[in-house]
Amino acid sequence: MLLYRKPFLPLPIPARFFSAVVATTLLLSGCGGDSTPSVSSTPVVTPTPTVTPTPTPTPAPTPTPVATVARERSETANYQPNYVPPTPDVYLRWKDNKNIRVFVEPVVNNVSDGSASNSLDSGAARRITENAIAAWQQNTDNDFRFVFVGSRAEAQVSIYFVDELRNLSGNTPPGVGITDWTYTFPNANDLQRAELATAKVQVKTGRSEAELVDTTAHELGHAIGISDHSGDENDIMYTTSVPPATITQRDLNTTFFLYYSPTVIGGRSVKTGGNTLVHCGEITCGAK
């Protein structure tokens, strides 16, 4: 609100006071001799405007990746909560989880007889796999890195997009995905801590691309060593799921436990010589 102030007008000085003022002025002037008196005036003080300095912006700190923070915070709690069974039959992990070689079959195949199908083109198969891999790599801050190779012979993980699933027995189980593993036990005295040798993933087609990405991400979780399903439907590794694929803190804790927990890695120091027996495992995944 602006306030209007009435201008100040000096009050008239009575005549009896005026002569006294003049006399006083003359008297004071005469004290200095004949010199002309100087007239001094009180300078008008102009207020200095207050300037508010422009604050220097503080650069935003570089954020620590969520997965790194999550792993550091959960490390002291041995990566809990997770859904690793208290006494699992076997702990599975890759010896080198930073360079897992992946091959995507260029066409849909029936894995038992190798017949091709046109249900899904090779470009879509590759794109779906890339999106599923990106979900794991980004959420784990690249704790798991997948490298595409040009042939099945070079691969550690082979991914098939199929019209129907076939398990190790040659049967067609219900569900939308299967992962098979082969693994060895580096320590002859420890038949619980295993190293993965190969993984074969089957993803059933005939669904939307979002659903195929979700299923592929789920099966990749098995391929990196998660041999069980979560009991929480919010986790990517729940036995059945719907898109979009969401990798939760429990999913991360489970993978971190398998690869970083002293509970798992403590028994891996003793290596065996000679021939190593290869074991197999399989898990089938359903759909809602």
**165 in a structural domain:** yes
Residue 82: closest CA among 220, 230, 281, 190: 230
Q: What are phi and psi of 279, to 5 degrees?
A: -110, 160
- pLDDT above 70 coverage of the chain, percent: 66
pLDDT computed for residue 43 by the predictor: 54
Note whether 160 and 109 are within 8 A (CB).
yes
Q: Categorize the per-residue pLDDT at 42 as very low, low, confident or very high, splitting at 50, 70 and 90.
A: low
Tell me, rounded to whole angstroms, the distance of Cα 217 from its chain centroid. Answer: 15
Average pLDDT of span 24-53: 46
Whether the model clears a pTM of 0.75, i.e. scores above it, the answer is no
**Gap between the Cα atoms of 97 and 142, Å rounded:** 9
pLDDT at 71 over 60: no
User: For residue 193, is pLDDT > 80?
Assistant: yes
- For residue 268, what is the domain's CATH number? 3.40.390.10
Give pLDDT, residue 51.
55
Task: Kindly report which listed range (37-51, 73-87, 164-178, 270-284) carries the lowest average pLDDT score.
Answer: 37-51
- Find the domain containing 268 and state its range: 91-285
For residue 83, being part of any structural domain is answered with no
Residue 12 has pLDDT above 70, yes or no: no
* Beta bridge partner(s), residue 221: none
In a domain? residue 46: no
Average pLDDT in the 112-132 region? Answer: 84
State the pLDDT at residue 224: 95
Which residue would you say has higher pLDDT here, 174 or 277? 174
Compare 163 and 263 and report the one with higher pLDDT. 163
Question: Can you say whether the dihedral through the CA atoms of 228, 179, 175, 203 is positive or negative?
Answer: positive
Structural domains of the chain, count? 1
209-223 and 122-139 are packed helices; what angle lies between their axes, rounded to 10 degrees? 60
**Position 187 in a domain:** yes
pLDDT, greater one: 106 or 154: 154
CA nearest 92: which of 267, 264, 283? 264
Residue 147 has pLDDT above 80, yes or no: yes
Which comes out higher in pLDDT, residue 240 or 176? 176
Q: Do the domain assignments include residue 70? A: no
For residues 161-181, average pLDDT: 90
pLDDT at 280: 79
pLDDT higher than 60, residue 207:
yes
Q: Which residues contact 178 (CB under 8 A, 6 or more apart)?
A: 165, 166, 167, 201, 202, 219, 282, 283, 284, 285
Domain membership of residue 5 (yes or no) is no
Q: Measuring CA to CA, which residue among 283, 217, 229, 221 is closest to residue 256?
A: 221
- DSSP codes of every residue in 54-88: PPPPPPPPPPPPHHHHHHHHHHTTTS-S----SS-
